[in-house]
Amino acid sequence: MNRKYAFFDMHPVVSLIYFLCVIVSGMFFRNIVLELISLISAFVYITTIFDRGRVIKTALFCGAVIVLMALTNPLFSHNGVTPLFYMNSMAVTLESVYYGVSSGIMLSAVLVWCAVFSDGFDFEKISYIFGRAFGNISVVISVALRLIKLIRVRSRDLAMVDSANGRTRLKDMLNRFSAIMGWSFEQGIELSHSMKARGYGRGRRSFYNRFRFGASDAAVLTAVVILSGATIWMYAVGDFGFAIYPKVWINITDRTYLGFILYSVLVLIPTAVEIRDSILWKYYRSGI
Amino acid sequence: MGKLKKSRIIACLIAILAVAAIVVLIINTDFETVDEHASNASNEALESVTDGISVSILINYSTVFDNYENLSDGVKNAGVLRDDGVLLDKTTVVIEKGKSVYDLLEYVCRVNDIAIEYNGSTYVQGIGYLYEYDCGPISGWMYKVNGIFPRDACGDYILEDGDEVEWRYTCDLGRDLGDQYYNMGD
């Protein structure tokens, strides 16, 4: 079994709240240690759920983001007390390179978490959470998203047919485009007829779902709320004080190390769930 | 096959153009090491201007000490602020005719080794590591000429002989410096 996603087999509310906490805190916690904790934990987690090639691809992408930010930030920001050299009499400073690296780490950590979230949090879960409140909107979104994918697949198919027949001019592309439009409209009419025939719009929609809020969901949710509440409070109080401009400064109080540990625990929760799940899997399988 | 060749030629052309653009950019950029920058600045200080005008300038951020709790952690802990808030005492300099307030600021900052950063043409973001928004959301640098706050960008204000320029840091949209312009809406 390649894709396990044990964390996403928990109740959708738990994973939604968890990823909201991790992504939002990743965006707003400007502290190099917290950013590194977030990025490293995201990579530890994706090694348990992605295959090796995708992990390497993600790592290369993150490295490129960090290098790009480190190179471009000094071109636009000249603050900092350590000039390296001057460009058109504006200082290119060490601090602005640090700031670019820090922004790159933050950005890539958030992107990795978003990739994990969009991979594991499928439409079934979105419609479970939002369907009751915004039933029509979630149906419209699902139809629209499907249409995008459908148009892409169909245009690829038509392009293959056309290129096999030697029709590769711009005019042929326009013909293909109008064919796809017609096809999609027809499909839309069929869809609406089909929905009507099945009684869409008559009375309240009912939902089938397979999600049950169990004891482990409650435990993880409590842990997430307590840990993120504690770290957000510590951030607001200033225990994670950090500044790069004009000089690198990091605030270390008595509670800061505790805060780093709490945040590490928070971002390692999915990995822990994944490892617990694979241990249980091995344990149960050996008993069969 | 001919099509493939054509697209390859186009790709090569685009690559050559991109490289040429980068080379032109680099050639037109003036690179200086830290030492060169300092020696160029001190040489410039020695040059005398003939047929110039005499103007005075001062740079002061004493207002941040009245709003010290709003000051950003970075500036507070970097140890770059001077206790009296005087970055540059009133100095008289002789510069060429037709220079703007911005030119004057840039000149004295280069000569006195004060870091400045500006945005676009002439919006001054920071002087001496103290930047806009460093002391609350409506803080930043403003300038006064002969006691009044002009409504022009500092690059558009052309100096005249005897002008007295003051660069001051505000923490309250100019109101703490006595500028009532932004009170009109209240």
Q: Which among A89, A243, A249 has the least Cβ separation from residue B110?
A: A89
**Residue B73 sits in the same domain as residue B163:** yes
User: Has residue B3 got a pLDDT over 70?
Assistant: no
Q: What pLDDT shows up at residue A2? A: 39
In a domain, A227, yes or no: yes
Q: Residue B163's pLDDT is what?
A: 94
Q: Are residues B155 and B88 in the same domain?
A: yes
Fill in the amino acid letter for B88: L
| Structural domains counted in chain B | 2
Q: Rounded to an integer, what is the distance from CA B181 to the centroid of its chain?
A: 23
The proportion of chain A whose per-residue pLDDT surpasses 70, expressed as a percent, equals 98
CATH number for the domain spanning B130: value is 2.170.130.30
Do B51 and B27 share a structural domain?
no
Å between A252 CA and nearest CA of chain B: 13
Domain shared by B152 and B172, yes or no:
yes
Same domain, A112 and A243: yes
Chain B residue with minimal CA distance to A238? Answer: B73
Structural domain for B77, as ranges: 34-183
Asked whether residue A101 falls in the same domain as residue A229, the answer is yes
A55 falls within a domain: yes
pLDDT higher than threshold 50 for residue A1 = no
Domain match, A85 and A180 both: no
Spatial separation of the C-alpha atoms in residues A223 and A265, rounded to whole Å: 9
Q: Please tell me the distance from the alpha carbon of residue A22 to that of residue A232, in angstroms, as a whole number.
A: 11
Measured CA to CA in angstroms, residue A231 lies from A20, A22, A35, A258, A262 at distances of 14, 11, 13, 10, 7
Q: Are residues A164 and A225 in the same domain?
A: no
Residues B142, B58 share a domain: yes
Confirm whether A206 is domain-assigned: no
Specify if A133 maps to a domain. no
Q: How many domains does chain A contain in total?
A: 2
ipTM of the complex: 0.86
* Residues facing B131 on adjacent strands: B126
- Residues of B with Cβ-Cβ distance to A91 under 8 angstroms: 115
Binned at pLDDT 50, 70 and 90, residue B30 comes out as: confident
The DSSP 8-state label assigned to residue B134 in this structure reads B
Q: Is residue A10 located within the same domain as residue A99?
A: yes
| Tens of pLDDT, residues A158-216 | 999 998 998 888 888 899 999 999 999 999 999 999 999 988 888 777 777 888 899 99
Which range, of A6-15, A134-143, A273-282, B77-86, averages the lowest pLDDT?
A: A134-143
Contacts 24+ apart (CB under 8 A), A180-185: A180/A151, A180/A154, A180/A155, A183/A154, A184/A147, A184/A150, A184/A151, A184/A154
Partner residue opposite B129 with nearest CB, options A79, A87, A238: A79
CB contact under 8 A, A86 and B32: yes
| Domain, as residue range, for A151 | 142-197
Domain check: are B27 and B38 in the same one?
no
Peptide bond into A246 cis (omega under 30): yes
B100 and B171 part of one domain = yes
Per-residue pLDDT tens over the stretch B106-123: 999 988 989 999 887 689
Exposed, middle or buried: residue A7 (CB in 10 Å: 0-12, 13-18, 19+)? buried
Q: Is residue A203 part of a domain?
A: no
Interface contact B117-A89, CB threshold 8 A = no
Mutate to test the interface with A, among B1, B36, B37, B61 (most CBs of A within 10 A): B37
